[in-house]
Chains A and B, each alone.
Chain A
């Protein structure tokens, strides 16, 4: 590629990484009591897992969204279309509705995570692997199925909450907002391993992402097994989103913002750089946002509210400034 842009992009990525590291250090150390080692250790114990969770989430959502957009060949699709957010909401509502907030499934974080992941995994495999094959590898049909399922899950969830005990609903609401607190180290380790496995399993497909963006016919012309490749990537993307959502809650809208910020900043087709940029932007938004939420708003507003509000505005901006439709 053009060596000049390659170099300037590398510089941009390094600057981004430095900002992320500064945010991370800031997040770990601001308002920490250094004089008392016990308090210091306690603060670290609380903050370190949260920071790690944010970094993993940003990485998986950022990478997955970017790959998703490249597969669909459209830069304003959001991975929300895959329906994982609304499935997550539905699962949690159903658990509270049928078993109550006091039940094991609702109160045991590990179990809840496992239930989320298994159900999402099954849905992801069925829709994005099986239906994709059935529809003769038409990505648009799959998206349509995703959109229909999103509203389907949403409707069931609304119906359940309407007949729910108001106290239970109050408890439920807390789990339906993405948050980074109280995530067990078992879940963190498990998520990292799972993401690692997905990336290793898809390493060949990820390496030819650049060629895939030339379009179906060009990719086939250049010797890519297109349908298989797309199917595997689509499944991988959905699983990555599922892992992140099961871990922190409905957050995949973030993906639209960070993937596009990365595309705008780097102006390249190289996916190694784009994915890295997207992940770094995600880390910046999450860690920086959480920093502000904790110290400026003292937890009164969750960071996902900022992401949703900011994200919608950015989405509008993208729609209005897009030259080609």
Chain B
């Protein structure tokens, strides 16, 4: 996926300004940056939820706007923070919806197997007949990930997946992200607020500031004292833990 000269304006105010970078396949890429830096907007444009004003999101050789939505949904799965599902839906039914792009409303035994595997992968067997509004935040997040797995896409986009989760569930979430990439070979792109999660669990970091890319590169390249201080405007120290550069800010 190549992103070229991507821009977006809201009411004349530029929120994303001439952003160009390339997303390496089969890796975990984190988008970080302060509030209002434009990382979520970039994510929205990559995922076609937000239309881009200018520039190109080149996905597998074709601009994302030119793809048929139905075809794209077999390549690209999105998980956003707004999941206000009003319906009475069990976990199993939710996961089944993930397979909708392939089979519509008709589920064959083969589809069922894929759905079963997704549920097992997320260890949701005992919850599968529970209604999702009766689950805890962590369980619901897992159910949504299972849905993404059932969608069986090469790319997975997660918008702030650790939001509203405690440290235990957030760390679990990040481990799942890593497994999606290492075990299932997916390219995972996520927007994160916690820099250290980005540093510890991703391969590449793209840091935004004022609608522009401040730094894009491997974790080691981006996670330096100078870069982070420049991006966030606070003082940083970098520690090396388990071979990963983790940051302390104060």
Which listed segment binds B: A12-20, A32-40, A211-219, A230-238?
A211-219
From residue B181, how far is it (CB to closest CB) to chain A in Å?
19
Do B73 and A214 touch (CB < 8 A)?
no
Tally of contact residues, B, Cβ under 8 A: 34
B77 at interface, CB cutoff 8 A: yes
Do B88 and A2 touch (CB < 8 A)?
no
From residue A130, how far is it (CB to closest CB) to chain B in Å?
20
Partner of A223, one of B69, B90, B96, B129: B69
Do A213 and B77 touch (CB < 8 A)?
no
Partner of B84, one of A75, A215, A225, A267: A215
Partner of A220, one of B69, B74, B83, B86: B69
Given contact pairs A217-B49, A269-B89, A223 touches B71 in the complex (Cβ within 8 A): yes
A165 at interface, CB cutoff 8 A: no
Partner of B82, one of A207, A217, A224: A217
What does DSSP make chain A's interface, helix, strand, loop or mixed?
loop
In the complex, the chain A residue whose C-beta lies closest to that of B93 is A1
- Complex Cα distance, B68 from A220, in Å, reads 11
Do B100 and A222 touch (CB < 8 A)?
yes
Residues of B within 8 A of A217 (CB): 49, 78, 80, 82
Residues of A within 8 A of B73 (CB): 221-223
Do A75 and B93 touch (CB < 8 A)?
no
A161 at interface, CB cutoff 8 A: no
B240 at interface, CB cutoff 8 A: no
Given contact pairs A1-B93, A217-B49, A268 touches B69 in the complex (Cβ within 8 A): no
Total A-B residue contacts, Cβ distance less than 8 Å: 69
- Complex Cα distance, B105 from A214, in Å, reads 14
- Complex Cα distance, B101 from A208, in Å, reads 11
CB interface residues, A 192-250, toward B, < 8 Å: 207-208, 210-211, 213-215, 217-218, 220-225
CB interface residues, B 94-149, toward A, < 8 Å: 96-98, 100-101, 104-105, 129
From B78, B79, B86, B88, name the one whose CB has the most chain A CB atoms within 10 angstroms.
Answer: B86
A125 at interface, CB cutoff 8 A: no
Do A73 and B93 touch (CB < 8 A)?
no
Residues of A within 8 A of B72 (CB): 223
Do B97 and A222 touch (CB < 8 A)?
yes
Residues of B within 8 A of A268 (CB): 88
From residue A227, how far is it (CB to closest CB) to chain B in Å?
11
What 19 additional pairs, Cβ within 8 angstroms, besides A207-B105, A269-B88?
A1-B93, A73-B84, A73-B86, A207-B104, A210-B105, A214-B97, A215-B82, A215-B83, A215-B85, A217-B49, A218-B83, A220-B48, A220-B78, A221-B77, A221-B78, A223-B70, A223-B71, A224-B70, A225-B69
Contact surface of B with A, Cβ cutoff 8 Å: 47-49, 68-74, 77-80, 82-90, 92-93, 96-98, 100-101, 104-105, 129, 151
Q: What are 24 pairs between A and B in contact, CB < 8 Å?
A: A1-B96, A2-B92, A207-B104, A211-B97, A211-B100, A213-B85, A214-B85, A214-B87, A214-B97, A215-B84, A217-B49, A218-B85, A218-B97, A220-B69, A221-B73, A221-B151, A222-B97, A223-B72, A223-B73, A223-B74, A223-B100, A223-B101, A269-B87, A269-B93
